[in-house]
Structure 1
Amino acid sequence: MESLMKEIRSCTVCSSFFVHKPRPVVAASESAKLLIIGQAPGRKVHESGVPWDDASGRNLRAWLGIDEEVFYDESKVALVPMGFCYPGSGESGDLPPRAECAPLWHDRLLMKCKNVKITLLIGQYAQKYYLGSAMKENLTKTVFAYREYLPKYIPLPHPSPRNRIWMKKNEWFEKDLIPNIRTHLRNFFGS
Structure 2
Amino acid sequence: MGDLCRYKLQAPAILSLARAPCHFSINSVRAGQTQTVSSHGRAKTYSHVVGISQCDTSGFGQGTPQAGRHSQLMDGGTADELGPLIERVRSCSACANYLPLGPRPVLQLSKSATLLIASQAPGTKAHASGIPFSDASGDQLRRWMGISDEQFYDAARVAIVPMALCYPGRASGGGDAPPRPECSTLWREPLLAQLPHLQLTLLVGTYAQEHVLGSGRMADRVRHFDRYLPRHFPLPHPSWRSRGWMTKNPWFEENVLPELRWQVSNALGPGHSGLRPNGA
TM-score under structure 1 length normalisation: 0.94
- RMSD, matched Cα: 1.2
Aligned pairs for 1:10-159 within 5 A:
10-90=91-171, 91-132=173-214, 137-159=216-238
Given that 1:40 and 1:82 are in contact with CA atoms closer than 8 Å, whether structure 2 keeps it comes out as: yes
Aligned counterparts of 2:154 and 2:86: Cα–Cα separation in 1: 15
Structure with bigger helix share is 1
Higher relative contact order (CA 8 A, sep 6+): 1
Larger Rg: 2
Task: Supply the AA of the counterpart residue of 2:125.
Answer: K
Other-structure match for 1:8: 89
**Percent identity at matched positions?**
47
Given that 2:100 and 2:168 are in contact with CA atoms closer than 8 Å, whether structure 1 keeps it comes out as: no
Task: Supply the AA of the counterpart residue of 1:17.
Answer: Y
In structure 1, stretches of 5+ residues that fail to align are none
Other-structure match for 2:253: 174
Given that 1:34 and 1:76 are in contact with CA atoms closer than 8 Å, whether structure 2 keeps it comes out as: yes
Matched position secondary structure for 1:40:
coil
**Offset at residue 181 of structure 1 (A):** 1.2
**Offset at residue 11 of structure 1 (A):** 1.6
TM-score under structure 2 length normalisation: 0.65
Given that 2:107 and 2:160 are in contact with CA atoms closer than 8 Å, whether structure 1 keeps it comes out as: yes
Given that 1:88 and 1:94 are in contact with CA atoms closer than 8 Å, whether structure 2 keeps it comes out as: yes
Structure with bigger strand share is 2
Matched position secondary structure for 1:119:
strand
Task: Supply the AA of the counterpart residue of 1:57.
Answer: G
Please list every run of at least 4 consecutive aligned residues from structure 1 whose deviation after the TM superposition is greater than 3 angstroms. Answer: none
Aligned counterparts of 1:49 and 1:186: Cα–Cα separation in 2: 26
Task: Supply the AA of the counterpart residue of 2:193.
Answer: M
Aligned length: 188
